Chain A
Amino acid sequence: MHMYRTDMYEGMIAETVMVPGHNGTVINAYFARPLGSGPFPGVVLIHHAPGWDEWYRETTRKFAHHGYLAISPNIYYQFGHGAPEDIAAKVRAAGGVSDDDVVGDITESLGYLKSLPQSNGKTGLFGTCSAGRQTFLVACRTKGFDGAVDCWGGRVVMSQQELTPKYPVAPIEYTKDLSCPLLGLFGEEDQFPTPQQVAQHEQELKKYGKTYEFHMYPKAGHGFFYYDRSGYRQEQAVDGWNKVFTFFEKYLGTAD
């Protein structure tokens, strides 16, 4: 975390690339990595409902800056191309992107990172908002991730009425299959998820003896990392980012 020295070398490359996606498709992704041969740990970032946008590109570079091979696949690729918020609107009107498609795309990105010669063999998963939910879902339905960070993912707990063909199973139902340690960051003023839903999720994690840590921040609602939105909370965001990097250092290791 205290990564800086004034005499250190530092460099990264960040670019869009084409990577394998679900069911043999090829999708685009934003890939940022430190220069050098590593070995480096990796992180797959699932972008949030507002789209594959600038915040996710910045966050992908943030992970690379901290020494990770970081990739953010465009999970809305099948919906076409345009301004991120316009594509997000199209996805919203279509009832979202299916859980199966997301699990497939992210599994392929995991394989892509692990195949790189600079990989140290450890890979984490990170997502905010809708992607917080998807992060938990993917960490349950796949094997191979070494740590997952769910930031305020709503609808992990879902009522029967909320289930759709695209979201056929509430992610909480998969808790017993969680395949890696989980970090959860939440705001107590959030309504998606509510603190009660987070507590319900935590009970399920305890029930199955999973390795997890949940942090519920006071005076924070939804999306408190987003400096470009009204929900930004500086103190909670700084602490939250520290927890994210501490968690990944513990479970993924650091660059040599």
Chain B
Amino acid sequence: MCTGIVENTRVAGSGKTPHGWFPLDQVSVSYDHPDHAQAERAVIIDFLNESIGLESRIALELTPESAKNLVHAILASLSRGEGEGLGARKESLQ
């Protein structure tokens, strides 16, 4: 919380930890100082299931450039998979 930059959103899907798969319901995205990544600042992504608690946390620390690459990769895969439908979906999210 050095920066105070955090964005939370609901998600639906599954995540996997060493204990196995579990349903996801929340993701928290921060721009802050990482614990482990070799970078001054990072995009920190925590996938969570609130009902399971902290044991469900799947954590990522990405350099800002890597995070941008990930965003592009996600959007590219959605575009290829959903085609024209993606445009409507993006509008509905705004």
Contacts and interface: CB of A to CB of B under 8 A. Distances in A.
Contacts of B44: 89, 92
A105 to B, nearest CB: 16
Task: Report whether over half of chain A's contact residues are helix, strand or loop; otherwise say mixed.
Answer: loop
Contact of B40 (A49, A155, A167, A222): A222
Interface stretch (A33-41, A63-71, A80-88, A197-205): A80-88
B54 A83 contact: yes
Interface of A: 48-50, 80, 82-83, 85-93, 95-96, 129-130, 154-155, 162, 164, 167, 189, 191-192, 221-223, 229-231
Contacts of A90: 54
A222 B28 contact: no
Given A221-B40, A231-B40, A129 B4 contact: no
Contacts of B46: 89, 92-93
Nearest to A162: B4
A92 B30 contact: yes
Given A92-B30, A191-B41, A129 B2 contact: yes
Of the candidates B4, B39, B48, the one having the most CB atoms from chain A within 10 angstroms of its own CB is: B4
B54 A86 contact: yes
B62 to A, nearest CB: 14
Interface in B1-19: 1-4, 6, 8
B74 interface: no
Contacts of A231: 33, 40
Contact of A89 (B3, B41, B57): B57
Of the candidates B1, B32, B35, B40, the one having the most CB atoms from chain A within 10 angstroms of its own CB is: B1
Contact of A95 (B6, B26, B41): B6
A95 B3 CA distance: 11
B28 A92 contact: yes
B59 interface: yes
Contact of B2 (A80, A167, A192, A230): A192
A230 B6 contact: no
